[in-house]
Structure 1
Amino acid sequence: MTAVDRLIERVDELVTDRPMAVIVAFLVVSLVAAGGLAGITTSAGADQFTQDIPAQQALDDIDEEFESSIGGSATSAQVIVSDDNVLSRGALVRILETQHRLESRSTLRVSSTSSHADAIARQIDPTAETAGERRDAVAEATPSELRAAIAAADESGAVAPQVSVDYNPTAQQAGASIVGITYDVPDAATTARVTELQTRSVEVVDTVPGNDAGENAILFGDGVLQSEITALLTDTAIIVFPAALILILVFLVFAYRDPIDMGIGLSALLLSLLWTFGFMGYAGIPFSDSLITVFPLLLAVGIDFGIHIVNRYREERGEGRGITDAMRTTTDQLLIAFLLVTITTVFGLVSNVASPFEPNRDFGIVAAAGIVFTLVIFGIYLPAAKVLVDRWRERLPIPEFGTSPLGMGGSRLGTLLHVGVDLSRIAPVVVVAVVLIGGAAGGAYGTGVNTEFSEEAFFPDEDRLETYSNLPEPFAPAEYTFLDVLTLFEEEFEQDFVGSVTLYVDQSVRDDDALELIDRTTRNPPDTFETTDERRAASTSVVTVIDDHAATDPEFREVVERNDRLGTGVPDRNVDEVYDALLDSSAEGQARGYIAEDRGSARIDYTIRPGVDNSEAVADVRALAERTPLEAVPTGDLVVNEAVIDRLTDSAIRSLLVAFALTAVFLAVSYAYLEGKAVYGLLNLVPVLVTVGLLVGTMRLLDIPLTPINAPILSVSIGLGVDYTVHFVHRFVDEFKAGHSIDEALDITIAGTGGALTGSMLTTVTGLGVLWLAVIPLLRDFGVLLALGVLYAYLASILLVPSLVVVWDRYGDRVGLGLDGNLRGSASDRTQ
C-alpha cells in the first residue's frame, strides 16, 4: 500500500466512522478563520502595477520635487473651477476664498495652494502673503486696477497655463481654471490617510459661497481617485456576488435535485470562501481588483468537487451499496483525482508568483491557498456531512428527492454526452486532427492579441454607468467624478495624460554647461516629437521658461545676455545667478515646475505628435535618455504604461510556461507512480493545450486585450483545463484497469463522470461568466475569459479525450507507448 493509499484510507475512516467529529473540527477551524476577516484591507487602481518601475519612481520624484506634477502625486490634488468667467472679480474672490479656507483648516494639512488668481492678486498687492490677504486685494481693487493686474499676470505667463483653452487674453475671459493643492503629509502616509484628507477637503470647498462641490468646483486627486476605484470594487461586488449566487443556486438545484444535498454543498462553499478570505486577513494581503476573481474561481472548483462527490456516491448507492461502502468507494476514487486537480491547478496559480506585478503575485498565492482549502473541505468535510445526513435519513422520516446521478441511463443528457464516444468509434483520427488543428490555429491567431494598460482602463464608460444607475438600491452604483474630470481635462485644458513624455534630469543643474545640455536635448528631434519652426522639439523646460521671461522682462534679459558667452540665448556661466533672478521674478511659479528647489534635478517635457504610436514615442524618448550626457530617466504616464505593457507580455508567457512545465512533469510522474503509465499524464495535457490555444484566439477575436488583471488567465486556464481532463481520464483508467475494454470503459466513464462534468461546467461557466456584469471593464473581460476557458476545457474533455484515447491505443505500441497490451478493447482493432 502506497503512502497515498494509506492517506486515503485514513480519510475514509474519519469520514465514515467519525463524521460528527470531522464536522465539529471544521467548524472550529472556521471560527478561527473568521478572525482574519477583520484584517482585510483594500487596494485598487493602476498604481498597484507600477511599483518598482524606474519611470514611475522618476514620476514620483517629479511630483515631490517640482511644484507642477505630471500624473498628480499622492500628496497633491486639483480643484477644477467652472464659471461664466473665471477672471471676473466674483470668480477670483471665490477661488481665493476657497484657497483661504483650505489653507486655514489645520486638520486638512494643506501646505500650499496655487491658482491664476494668486498671480493676479500679487500684481495688485505684492505684499499679500496669504490667500485671505490676496482675496481682499482683489475684492478692493478698482476695475482698472484689476484689468491691469490681469494683463500683467498674463504677460508673465502665469494665467494661460492654469485656465481653460477658451482663454481670451484680450477680453480677459475663460470658462474654467485649476487650483492646485499640496498636502503636508509624511512620505509614509497611507493612501487611506490621503484619501481622508482629500475627501474632507471636498467638504470645505463646498462651504464656500458660490461653490457647488462636484458641479462647478470638482476636487480631484489620487486620494479621491483611489476612493472612487475602491467604490467601483464595492459596486461590482454588490452586483456580481448576488447575481452569481442566484444563478449558481439555479444550476445547483439542477445538479443536486435535493435541497439537503444542495445545503451541504453550499455550506462547503461558504467554508472555502471563509477560510480563504480569513487567510488573506492573517497574511496581510489586501483585497484588490485582481482578487475579486478569486471568489468565482473558488466557487468553480468547489462546485466541481461537490457535484463529483455526490454524483459518484449516488452512482454507488444506485448499485445497492450501503452508505459506508458507497462513500468509501467514492472517496477512494475521487480523492486521487481531486489531489491531481488541486496540485495542477495550484501550479497554474502559483506560477503567477513569477509575475513582476504584486497584485498578480497576491492573486496566485490567495487563489492557490483557496484551492487547497477547497480540496480539504470538499474531500473530507462534505463526505462526512453527507454520511451523517444519510444516516439520519435512514432513522428519521426525511423525504427522498432526486437521487439518481446526472447523465445516467437513457436520459437526453446521457445521449448528448455520448457524442464524443460515438465519434471515437467512427472517425477518431479525424476528430483528433480537426481539434488539434483548431487549437493550433487559435493559438497562432492569438499571438496578435493586443496589450493594454492605463488608469482609464479601470473606469467603466458612461453608458454602462448610466445603465446601472437605473438599478434600485443598493445595486445602483455611487456617483463618480472621474469621468467628468477626464472630460474636463481633455476638452477644457487639452490634457489627455498621454500627449507628452518627460526626461527627469537626476543630477545637479548648477554647472555652467547644464542649461546648454538641456537645450541640446531638443535639437534634431525624432519623428514622433512635435517640432517648432526651428526644427527643434516642442518642449518645456527651465530653458524655455528663461527664454520666455527674457522676452518680456528687459532687466532679466540683461542677466541672461551677460551670462551667455556663446551668444546662443542660453546662459553658459553663472547659472545660479540666472536662477536667482528668475526665481525672484514673476516667472517663479513656472520655473518651480521645471527645476527643483535645491537645483539638484530638472525636468524636460516633450510634446508628442498626434496619432503617433505609443510604443514608438516611448522608444524615442528612451533613446534620447541613452544618448544625452545628462543623467536622465524617461518618464511620464505614457512611458510608465508602456513599461507595464512590456512586463505584462513577459509575465503572461513566463507564467504560462512555468505552469505548463510543472503540470506536465507532475502528471507524468503521478500517473507513473499511481498507475505505472506516465502516458496517462500526457493524455491530460493535449486537451489543455487545445483549450489555451482556443482561449488566446478568442481574446483576439473578441478584441479583449491582455491587461494586468487578466494576465493570469493563460496559466489559470491550464489548471482549470486539467480539472476536467483529470476527472475523465482518471475514471477511464480505473474502469480500464478493472478489466473493461476501451469501448466499455469509455461508455462507463461518460455515463458516470460526464454528467458530473456537465453539472460542474454549467454552474462554473455561470458563476464565472456573471463577472460580465462587473462595473469595472477589466473584471468583466476576465470573467468572460474564465468562463470560456472552462467551456473549452469541458468540450475538449467530452469530445476530444475519447478519440485521443482510441488513437493513442491504436498507434502507441508502435513507439512503445501503448495503453496496455493485455487489456486492449475492440476499438483498437477497428479501421477508420
Structure 2
Amino acid sequence: MSIRALYEKLGIVVEEHGNLILLLAVGALLIALLGAQSIHFATGTDTFVDENSRIYQDYDHLFLEKFHTENIVLIVSSDDVTQPEVLKALDALERDVREIRNVRSVTGVVDYLKNANALLTGRHSVPEGDVNELLSFIPDEVLNAILPSEQTALILVEIPGDLTDDENEELVTDIKHTIRFAHLPPSTTITLTGDPAFHIDLSAQMSRSTGELLVLAALLMVVVLSIVFRYVRWYLLSLLMVLIGVVYTFGAMGITGVPMTMASMSIFPILIGLGIDYAIQFHNRIEEELARQENHKEAIYHTVGNVGPAVLIALTITILGFAALLTSDVPMIRDFGILGIMGVVLCYLTSMFVGVTVIYKLDARWVKRRMRQLREPPEQARRLIREELQKRAKASKWSTKLERALTRVTMETASRPLAVLSIALLLGCMGVYYDEHVEVQTDVQKYVPQDLKSLLDLKKMQSLMGGRQDELNLIVKGDVLDPTTLRWMYEFGEHEVQSQPNIHAAESIATLLASQNGGTLPSTKSEAERLADALPENVRNSYLSGELYAVINFNIGDAYKELGLPKLKTLSAQIEKDMAWMPPPPDVEATLTGNMYVFTVVLDALTSGRMEMTILGLVMIFLALLLIYRDWMKALVPVVPMIVVTGWSGGLMYIAGIPYTPLTGTMGALILGIGGEYTVLMMERYFEEREKGLAPFEALSETSVKIGRAILASGLTVLCGFSALIASPFPLQSNFGFVTVMDMVFVILATFIVFPPLIVTLDRMRTGEGPILRRMKEAMHA
C-alpha cells in the first residue's frame, strides 16, 4: 500500500469518526492543561552542562558540594550606618536571619565592631557611642568590603552552593519576610541581592515573558491571516489549531519533565510559526477540494491523501533539523530540540485530524444554511455553492495580484538559472566565510534585560565590593594536609600568579596556613592539622573539606570584561598544561573546575559546534529524502536552498554585528527545518502537476498559483510570529528574533527565487529537455 493510499484511508477515518476525534482532542487538551502545571523553570548550571559528563561531576560533586557557597547580600543604606540605633537594628536582623533554615553564617560590620568592642571594653555587644576607634581594629580589606561608605554597609549571608531552585526561592522569601518585619530606623533601607536572588527573579521574568510573547505572536498572526489568508472561510481557524497544538506541547513538556530554560522558552513563538504552516496547508487544500468536488466526502479523502504525505515529508525534514540539536553538549540546546520535535509532531496531528474535522463539520453546516438561502433544487444549489467557493478564492484583489506576482517571479527566475543560481551560491559562500568571524557573546548577564531590578542590584553590589572577582578553581584530592602536598599547592599557586598576567592571586589552605605560621609552611602533618583547626570554621571550610579535599582559588578579576572567551579558554588550557609540567605529588590528583571553567567549556561547545550541527542536519535531511524518494534529484533540490540560506544568515549576522549566543547558535537547525519544509511542499506540488502531463514551466506556473500563495501566506504569518521575539525584554531572545525574522525573509526568497530555476533546470536536464542536452543531441544527429 502506498503512503498516499494509507493517508486516504486516514481521510476516511476523519470523515466517519469526526465526533470521536473531537472528543479525544478535548480529552487530550484537559490532560495537557493538567500536565502543564508540572512545568519547572531551570536557570542553573545543569541547563548548560550534561549531568553525566566528567565536567559536571567534578563541578557538582567536588566543587559545589565541598567548597562552593553562595552569598545573599543585604545592602544597607542609611544617613549613617554606624549610628548606634542602626547598628542595633542590624544586630537584631542578623540574629533573626541566622535562624532561617540553610543559612550557614551571617557576617556584617556589626560582628566586627562587637569583636573590637570586646577587645577594648570586655563587652561583646553593639557599641553605644562613636565607633571610629573600633573601626581601626578591622583590617582595611575587610572594612572596605563590608563598609564601603558611611551611608552603605553590606551584610553577607552565606548559604550552601548546591541548593535546589525551590530551596533557594524558599530561603530568599524567608529573608525578605524577615527584613520586612525588622524594626529599622526611618531613614534605613535594605536591598536584597546576590546570585540566588537574581536567578529567582530571572525565572519569574522568564515566565511572564513567555506568556506575553505568545499573546503578541498570536495577535500579529491574526492581523496577517486577516490580510493574506482571507480568501478561505474561517481563516482564523488555522491559528486556533496551532494554539491547541502549543497547549498539547506545554502538557507534554510538563509530563516528560523537560524544563523551561532561557532557550526552550523561545520555542513556543517559533512553534506557532511552524505549526501555522501545517494548518494553512491543510486548510488551503480542503477549501480547494470542497470547491472542486461534488461529493464533499471525496474532498476530505483527497485533502488528507495529498497534503498529509507532503506535509509529513516536510515534517520529517523539520524533525531532522531539530534532531541535529540533540548532538549538542549543552542540555538546554538539546531540550530546545526535544521541544521542537514534540511540538511540530503535535501541531501536525492537530492540523490533520482536528483541523480537517472541524472544517468539514463547519462546511456541512454552512452548505445547509446556503442551500436554504438559495431556495434552489439540491443539485442546482450545490453547483451554485461550488461556483461561489471558486469565486471566493479569486475575488480578493490581494489574491489576484499575489498570484500574478508569484507567477512572474518564479517564471523570471526559472528562465535565468545560471545568473540566479550563481549569485545565490556566491552570496551563500561569502556568508559561510564571514560566519566564522562573528563575535561570540560570553557575558551571560547580557542575555537578560539590562533594566531588570535584580540585575541592577547585583551590579550595584559588585561595584560596592570592588567589581566582579571571578575565579578558576583547582580541586586537589589526596592527603592535602601532608607537607609535600601543601608545598605543591603553595608553589603551584605562586607559579601561576607569576607566569600568568591574568591571574591576580592564588589562595588555598596552604597560603592560609603559611599566613598563620609567620609566612612558613608547616613542616609536619600534625602541625598543619593544628593550624587548620585554629582557623574560623567558615574560613577553613572554604578551602578544606576533611583531610582529602582542598581547593586553590585563582582570582582572574572580571573574566568577561578583561578576558573574554578566547583568552579564558587559553588560560584554562595553560593551567592544565602547567599541571602536566609541574604535577602534584604521587597519589594526589588536581582537577580544574568552577563556574568560569564550566561556562568556558559550554560557550566553546555552543560556538564551535554550530557548523557541525548544521552540516549533520543537511546530511541527515539529504539521506532521509533519498530514502523516501529513491531519487537523487528530489533529495538534492530541497537541500540546496537551505545551504544558500544558511550562508546568507551567517553573512547577515556579521554585517549586523549580532553575536552568537546559545539561541542564535541554533539558527542552522531552524533554517533546515523551515526552509526544507517550504521547498518540499513546492516540489511535491510541482511533480503532482508534472504527473498530469504539464511541461516543466507550466507545472511551475501552476505550482506557484495553487500552493505558492498558501506558502507565502504561511511564510508571512510565520515571520510575524517570530517577530514577537524581537519585543522580548531578553536581549538573548530579541536578537534571536531579529535574526529569525530575517532568515524567514531569506527562506521565502530562496523558495520563490532559488528553488524555481533549480528544479526546472534539473528536471529538464534529466528528461533531456534542457538547452545543453538538446544541443548535444542535435550535434550527435548532425
Q: Does 1:6 align with 2:17?
A: no
Shift of 1:337: 1.0
CA distance in 2, matches of 1:409, 1:161: 67
Which residue of 423, 434, 449 maps to 1:434?
423
| Conserved? CA contact 1:509–1:602, under 8 Å | no
Task: Say whether the 8 Å CA contact 1:530–1:608 is kept in structure 2.
Answer: no
Go from structure 1 to structure 2 and tell me whether the alpha carbon gap of 1:276 and 1:420 turns closer, same or farther (over 3 Å shift). same
Aligned 8 A contact 1:454 1:641 in 2: no
Instruction: Name the SS of the counterpart of 1:418 in structure 2.
Output: helix
Asked if the contact 2:232–2:393 (Cα under 8 Å) also holds between the matched residues in 1, the reply is no
Equivalent runs, 1:727-806 vs 2, <5 Å? 727-806=681-760
| C-alpha spacing 1:54/1:298, structure 2 compared with 1 (3 Å) | same
Counterpart amino acid of 1:31?
L
Whole-angstrom CA distance in 2 between matches of 1:522 and 1:582: 19
Q: 1:357 to 1:127 in 2, by over 3 A?
A: farther
- The aligned amino acid for 2:315 is T
Distance in 1, matches of 2:695 and 2:121, equals 96
* CA shift in 2, pair 1:691/1:444, >3 Å: same
- Is 2:452 aligned against 1:494? no
| Superposition deviation, residue 450 in structure 1 | 2.5
Aligned residue number for residue 611 of structure 2: 653
- Name the CA shift for 1:244/1:148 in 2 (closer, same or farther; >3 Å): same
2:38 corresponds to? 39
How far apart are 1:446 and its partner, in Å? 0.8
Change (3 A) 1:178 1:623: farther
Contact 2:473 2:553 in 1 (8 A): yes
Match of 1:470 in 2: none
Map of 1:103 onto structure 2: 98
Unaligned runs of 5+ in 1: 165-172, 466-479, 550-555, 558-568, 813-817
Deviation at 1:723, TM superposition (A): 0.9
| 8 Å contact kept, 1:80–1:218 | yes
The question of whether the paired residues in 2 share the 8 Å contact of 1:248 and 1:766 is answered with: yes
Partner of 1:138: 126
Task: Determine if contact 1:78/1:220 at 8 Å carries over to the other structure.
Answer: yes
Deviations 1:496-531 (A, max 9, x none): 244x43333333321112332122124454788348
Q: For the residues of structure 2 that align with 1:409 and 1:737, how far apart are their CA atoms?
A: 30
Alignment of 1:6-155 (within 5 A): 6-44=5-43, 48-52=47-51, 61-62=62-63, 64-66=65-67, 69=68, 73=70, 76-84=71-79, 86-87=81-82, 89-104=84-99, 108-125=101-118, 134=124, 137-140=125-128, 143=130, 146-154=131-139
Matched, 1:451 2:432: no
Q: Tell me how far 1:601 sits from its aligned partner.
A: 1.1
Letter in 2 for 1:363: F
Partner of 1:169: none
Counterpart contact for 2:232–2:287, Cα < 8 Å: no
Partner of 1:643: 601
Report the 3-state secondary structure (helix = DSSP H, G, I; strand = E; otherwise coil) of the residue aligned with 1:481. Answer: helix
Hey, what's the Cα distance between the residues in 1 that align with 2:179 and 2:34?
Answer: 40
Which stretch of structure 1 is more off in the superposition, 198-207 or 76-85? 76-85
User: Given residue 154 of structure 1, which amino acid in structure 2 is its aligned partner?
Assistant: P
Q: Could you tell me how far apart the structure 2 residues matched to 1:376 and 1:830 are?
A: 49
Aligned partner of 2:570 in structure 1 is 616
The equivalent of 1:566 in structure 2 is: none
Structure 2, unpaired ranges of 5+:
374-387, 777-782
TM-score, structure 1 normalization: 0.82
Once structures 1 and 2 are overlaid, which stretch shifts more, 691-700 or 744-753? 691-700
Of 682-691 and 255-264, the range deviating more from structure 2: 255-264
Give the aligned partner of residue 510 of structure 1.
481
Checking the alignment, whether the CA contact within 8 Å between 1:806 and 1:828 is kept in structure 2 is: no
Aligned with residue 198 of structure 1, among 165, 168, 172? 172
Distance 2:550 2:499 in 1: 25
Query: Contact 1:508/1:601 (CA < 8 Å) preserved in 2?
Result: no
Report if aligned partners of 2:231, 2:394 keep a CA contact under 8 Å in 1: no
Aligned equivalents of 1:718, 1:425: Cα separation in 2? 23
Q: CA deviation at 1:114?
A: 1.9
Contact 2:279 2:355 in 1 (8 A): yes
Mapped partners of 1:797, 1:249: distance in 2: 24
Q: What SS is found at the alignment partner of 2:555?
A: strand
Change (3 A) 1:216 1:639: farther
User: Which stretch has the larger CA shift, 119-128 or 228-237?
Assistant: 119-128
More helix by share: 2
Count how many residue pairs are aligned between Structure 1 and Structure 2.
749
- Residue 662 of structure 2 aligns to a residue in which SS? coil
Q: Distance in 2 between matches of 1:751 and 1:450?
A: 42
In the TM superposition, residue 14 of structure 1 has moved relative to its aligned partner by 2.1
TM-superposed deviation, 1:608 = 5.2
Relative to structure 1, the CA distance from residue 828 to residue 803 in structure 2 (aligned partners, 3 Å threshold; closer, same or farther) is farther
Shift of 1:46: 5.7
Shift of 1:720: 0.9
Offset of 1:12 from its aligned partner? 2.0
Cα RMSD, aligned residues only: 3.4
Q: Which amino acid aligns with 2:76?
A: V
Letter in 1 for 2:690: F
SS in 2 for 1:35: helix
Tell me, what secondary structure is at the counterpart of 1:802?
helix
Give the distance between the partners of 2:610 and 2:522, measured in 1 at CA.
50
Deviations 1:192-245 (A, max 9, x none): 1221121220121233333799x9422234442222111221231243222111
State the shift of 1:805 in Å. Answer: 1.9
Indicate conservation of the 8 Å contact 1:538/1:606, yes or no: yes
Alpha-carbon distance between aligned partners in 2 of 1:622 and 1:42, rounded to the nearest angstrom: 35
- Letter in structure 2 aligned against 1:375: Y
In the aligned structure 2, how far is the partner of 1:128 from the partner of 1:734?
97
Q: Which amino acid aligns with 1:643?
A: V
Q: CA deviation at 1:591?
A: 5.3
Q: Is the 8 A contact 2:147 2:154 kept in 1?
A: yes
1:606 to 531, 545, 555: 555
Task: Map 1:180-259 onto structure 2 (within 5 A).
Answer: 180-183=156-159, 190-210=164-184, 216-257=189-230
Q: Tell me how far apart the structure 2 counterparts of residues 128 and 595 of structure 1 sit (CA, whole Å).
A: 34
1:679 aligns with 2:633: yes
Q: Distance in 2 between matches of 1:457 and 1:406?
A: 50
User: Aligned AA for 1:80?
Assistant: I
Query: Alignment partner for residue 302 of structure 1, among 272, 275, 280?
Result: 275
The one-letter code sitting in structure 2 at the alignment partner of 1:621 is I
- TM-score using structure 2 length: 0.87
3-state SS of 2:310 partner? helix
Give me the whole-angstrom Cα distance separating, in 2, the residues matched to 1:216 and 1:353. Answer: 48
Instruction: Name the CA shift for 1:794/1:459 in 2 (closer, same or farther; >3 Å).
Output: same
CA contact (8 A) 2:469 2:556 kept: no
* Aligned positions of 1:325-344 closer than 5 A: 325-344=298-317
> What amino acid maps onto 2:107 in structure 1?
S
**8 Å Cα contact 1:347-1:719 kept in structure 2:** yes
Question: CA separation of 1:599/1:742 partners in 2, compared to 1, >3 Å: closer, same or farther?
Answer: closer
TM-aligned CA deviation for residue 123 of structure 1: 3.0
Cα drift, residue 747 of structure 1: 0.6
Aligned counterpart for 1:573 among listed residues 523, 529, 550: 523
Maintained 8 Å contact 1:303/1:760: yes
In structure 2, relative to structure 1, the CA distance for the partners of 1:603 and 1:739 (3 Å cut) is same
| Percent of aligned pairs with the same amino acid | 21
Cα 1:623/1:5, change in 2 over 3 Å: same
Are the counterparts in 2 of residues 65 and 597 from structure 1 also a CA contact under 8 Å? no
Deviation string 1:378-437 (CA, Å, 9 cap, x unpaired) is 122222222221121111149989830699998221222124323245421111111111
